[in-house]
Structure 1
Amino acid sequence: MVFAMFLGAGNLIFPPMVGQLAGEDMWYAAGGFLLTGVGLPLLGIVAISRVGGCFNEISGEMPKSLMIALGSCIYLIIGPLYAVPRTALVSYEVGLLPFLPEPSEFTQLIFSLVFFSISWYLSIKPGKLLESVGKLITPALIALLVILGLSPIISPLGIPGPAMGTYTEAPFIKGFLEGYMTMDALAALMFGIVIITNLKSHGIKEKSSLFHYSITTGIIAAIGLALVYISLFYLGATSREIAPDPGNGGQVLTIYAETLFGTTGTALLAAVVTLACLTTAIGCITASSEYFDEMFERVNYKTIVTTISIICIFFANMGLNEIIDLFIPVLLILYPISIALIFLGLIRDWLPRPILTYRATLTIIFILSIIDVLRIKEYAGLQPVLQIFSVIPGYEVHMVWLLPSLAVLFATVLLGLFSRPESNCQTP
């Protein structure tokens, strides 16, 4: 179930392009990609499971108002405002559009209605996702992925060539950054509550058992994701002869599947992408609904699922590029904060003054992420000011926050170790 929820369309599209551009250096790029595309989400599951699957617990050192605001933003972006509508858009463009003689806005609307009606139906009973997604949809998805993944190994359509572009200099770093952009760290913070809910519905109640089975679940999902990625890296690396100048990894996949299997290949890819997008949509809708269900006690869970599904239909009928342009700035702020929450959650028990460390580290990340957003917007009047920050490593690759946040983290830890502990005694 968790494997299927993580495996969205973006996870299928990134690796083929990485493989094609990295060529003979594919394994270096794959190592970097797997570190952030698989390792980071796994750490996210570990961190969120330690606190019982609740986002508000992993961010508990923040002021309550900011904690709620941050949680709401993450669940809205990965839920109804961005990630979930994108699953329907990608499913429509890859899964249905190639088979329509005359596509129109009406056919897109009908598709999104059907897509989110299925998602709504399978999300209204969150404790039953193991049966609906884990036992019904995932086996079909895995079977299709095995066919697609083994095909380039059994019957390759080319050989890897020399690395191209930025992959010629630092393939590992480039792969690392591509994996970072999958946004699965955000998903890991969301899906913790879904995992815990399903484990509890199947009789697992003790905190230690919930943590143990959550980690086991995360490892299984991580292994599945890694195998899919590796096969798609190789598919991309051997695709240059048939797809010499693709615009994105989706085109690589489409051309490869059609060349190898003809019309059947197009249908195979359509089924893989649609099922992958559907399971991700179900997971995100469920996680978002459970979060807001806990926040708004007077509104029942089914009403929240229905509301989110309707919002998804609205945004799914916008253009894909319009949605991406609208929310990329928000993601550039939320994603670094989410990565920091994961690592802080893992080391929380060893922090001498966790409140100080959390608040100082997250503050510097927030400020530098704002600067990153202003940089890509290219506001002319701000350029002289922003150039001051260009000396920080990572400025050009959206990671200007990394080294300063580590410095603040270590500084607060040292301050906590050497400062006098606060007294718990009260003056009578």
Structure 2
Amino acid sequence: MKQRLSLPNIIGMGFMAFAMFLGAGNLIFPPMVGQLAGEDMWYAAAGFLITGVGLPLLGIISISRVGGGFNEISQEMPRGLIVALGTCIYLIIGPFYAVPRTALVSYEIGLSPFLPEHSALSQLIFSLIFFSISWYLSIRPGKLLESVGKLITPALIVLLVILGLSPIISPLGIPGSAMGTYTEAPFIKGFLEGYMTMDALAALMFGVVIITNLKSHGIKDKASLFHYSITTGIIAAIGLTLVYLSLFYLGATSRDVAPAPGNGGQILTIYAETLFGTTGIALLAAVVTLACLTTAIGCITAASEYFDEMFEQISYRNIVTVISIICVFFANMGLNEIIDLFIPVLLILYPISIALIFLGLIRDWLPNPVLTYRTTLTITFFLSIIDVLRIKDYAGLLPFLQPFSLIPGYENHMLWLLPSVAVLSITIMLGFIIRPASNCQLP
């Protein structure tokens, strides 16, 4: 008999997933895209939504299809490589990069405007409080539905509705002509901006958090887990879409009040202050802080569950504690230094994660999953490295990199895409010829 989840819990699960995906970066990207795209913002928005919402939704569906987490979706790979790749993903999206950034952005937008001056001590105190709250709400992974989905997220949504409706009810300008690269291909540019949100990478982490919470509420069988995971993902996707569309329009109508912003965060700050004064700054501070907090909780929980499965002799609670302490350390370092250190790693991990998502979706129809997985991921990994080498601009590498510039996507960090699709197609056809042994054991 099919197991059922109550309607309030279904909505709460969707709100929980929505809040975990909606971090500070997701609030900052769309206003800048909207301002630069101007009258073409809807074309840019369409491209952004495909990669910024569509890919994360496919990630949740893919994880739910395999019924587990990263280890399950990558099981056709060699065991050592699964562990190495999974560890890198969970460390980067967890304590080394993404989570510390949530505290730093919360401090800069949520608290710093109200302080007479910035100080290292105030930043340290803020990060300690921020990660103490994250730690407390993360040590009970099966209770995130109650703490995040039903408590924090409704407050976040109320604040987002106020912020999102304000440019529609009281616009501060009208969209102008598209600027820069948006004049020629707004859809493609928006597509690439959504790609760089890194939410597809996060989907591989949050999928297991969703499944854990469903199991803790009595949903055990595979069919029900799959059904409610998809429902959760759709609710989150709808919420993200509505937030993004309102922020695109906010950015498109902001040129008069924010004519030369450095980033989308400045657009949001100026717009909120112009409309609501000091109250607007407080509103934006609350939105950003809650968005960052829920993302931090989701990432810490997902990373802790992954390492808890790997290191059974260490308790989940202790892993959460260690990760939280590491987050405090990195949150008090310079943001630029952290970005410079880890962006090359992200450029390698993100294409691999996208490839894993699509492979997970079609795994049941692959004639030789091991052949397709290993070959496709190998070419994706190799070309992702080429992408990283290209941005380093080493003169000695130019003769080696020049032939790759002929492949579409070279200039946009998407060099891997077409070759990976080609290899995927070829290995599927070869799979009908090279059948795997039924009792084959993966190394």
Q: Quick check: 1:131 aligned with 2:152?
A: no
Alignment of 1:272-291 (within 5 A): 272-291=287-306
Read off the aligned partner of 1:161 and give its amino acid letter. Answer: G
Contact persistence 1:190–1:288 (CA under 8 A) = yes
Match for residue 366 of structure 1? 381
Read off the aligned partner of 2:435 and give its amino acid letter. Answer: P
Match for residue 368 of structure 2? 353
Match for residue 421 of structure 1? 435
1:421 CA drift (Å): 3.4
1:102 CA drift (Å): 1.7
Query: Aligned partners of 2:219 and 2:407: how far apart in 1?
Result: 47
Match for residue 187 of structure 1? 202
1:420 CA drift (Å): 5.1
Q: Quick check: 1:75 aligned with 2:90?
A: yes
Q: Quick check: 1:300 aligned with 2:315?
A: yes
Match for residue 15 of structure 1? 30
Classify 1:99/1:422 alpha carbon distance in 2 versus 1 (closer, same or farther; 3 Å).
closer
Q: Quick check: 1:309 aligned with 2:324?
A: yes
Q: 2:349 aligns with which of 334, 351, 359?
A: 334
Q: 2:427 aligns with which of 412, 416, 421?
A: 412
Read off the aligned partner of 1:289 and give its amino acid letter. Answer: S
1:206 CA drift (Å): 1.1
Query: 1:321-367: per-residue Cα shift (whole Å, max 9, x none)?
Result: 11111100000000000000000000111111110110011001111
After superposing on structure 2, the runs of 4+ consecutive aligned residues of structure 1 that deviate more than 6 Å are none
- TM (norm. structure 1) is 0.98
Query: 1:231-260: per-residue Cα shift (whole Å, max 9, x none)?
Result: 000000000000011010000000000000
Read off the aligned partner of 1:252 and give its amino acid letter. Answer: I
Classify 1:262/1:344 alpha carbon distance in 2 versus 1 (closer, same or farther; 3 Å).
same
Match for residue 196 of structure 1? 211
Match for residue 145 of structure 1? 160
Q: Percent identity?
A: 84
Q: For the aligned residues, what is the CA RMSD?
A: 1.1
1:53 CA drift (Å): 2.8
Read off the aligned partner of 2:392 and give its amino acid letter. Answer: K
- TM (norm. structure 2) is 0.95
Match for residue 85 of structure 1? 100
Classify 1:422/1:135 alpha carbon distance in 2 versus 1 (closer, same or farther; 3 Å).
closer
Alignment of 1:2-151 (within 5 A): 2-151=17-166
1:52 CA drift (Å): 1.4
1:424 CA drift (Å): 5.6
Classify 1:378/1:207 alpha carbon distance in 2 versus 1 (closer, same or farther; 3 Å).
same
Contact persistence 2:73–2:360 (CA under 8 A) = yes
Read off the aligned partner of 2:173 and give its amino acid letter. Answer: G
1:423 CA drift (Å): 6.1
Query: Aligned partners of 1:28 and 1:268: how far apart in 2?
Result: 29
Contact persistence 2:367–2:435 (CA under 8 A) = no
Match for residue 257 of structure 2? 242
Q: Secondary structure at the match of 1:203?
A: coil
Query: Aligned partners of 1:424 and 1:20: how far apart in 2?
Result: 56
Match for residue 163 of structure 1? 178
Q: Secondary structure at the match of 2:259?
A: coil
Q: 1:392 aligns with which of 407, 412, 429?
A: 407
Contact persistence 1:53–1:195 (CA under 8 A) = no
Read off the aligned partner of 2:172 and give its amino acid letter. Answer: L
Q: Secondary structure at the match of 2:426?
A: helix
Tell me, which stretches of 5 or more residues in structure 2 are unaligned?
A: 1-15
